[in-house]
Amino acid sequence: MLPLLKLGTLALKTLSKPVASRLKHQAAIHPRFRQLIVNMAQSNHQITTKMQRRIYGHATDVEIRPLNEEKAVQAAVDLIGELFVFSVAGLLLIFEVQRSARSEARKEELRRKDLEAMKQRNDELAEEVELLKHRFEELEQLARGRGLTGILNFKNIVSSKENGKTEKTA
């Protein structure tokens, strides 16, 4: 599944470049949009030129010549194309991160359920051990009541055998 998703992502990024090119072409043709992008390009030119002057330590109070209309249109449509490709790549990145997060959440939920099941099984086994201890004590009491203390007194038998072994080895 993952390789197909990555292949689809790559295909979408590749297809976005011709779409961006077409978008650039259409943006340059429409007069109203053309004026908007010329204004955008001129503003961008002013800002970037001032930033470059500040970075290089040049004077920033000088007049910055505007771009001619064709250069402004070209700069704006290039910017639009780059923004489109960048937006598609950004959206794909967001999608991939969300998909990965969902996958991790599912894995974490499975681990949590497994841990909960193990805890429950541990509790059940602890209850069963307690029940068996209780039943064994009841059997011992019943055996004592009937005079069969030697038969069910495993503790004394085991400890006397161990004591006998230690005495023989000593």
Per-residue pLDDT tens for 9-31?
Answer: 677 667 777 776 776 677 667 88
Task: Show the domain range for 158.
Answer: 2-169
The residue that leads in pLDDT, 8 or 61, is: 61
Asked if the model's pLDDT at residue 160 lies above 90, the reply is no
Structure-token match 């059997």, residue found? 139
pLDDT score at 148: 63
pLDDT score at 164: 60
Q: How far apart are CA 75 and CA 34, in angstroms?
A: 12
Number of domains making up the chain: 1
Asked if the model's pLDDT at residue 119 lies above 90, the reply is yes
Q: Are 73 and 38 in contact (CB under 8 A)?
A: yes
What would the mean pLDDT of 43-64 be, rounded to a whole number? 87
Residue in 89, 72, 81, 71 with CA at minimum distance from that of residue 36: 72
3-state SS assignment for residue 138: helix
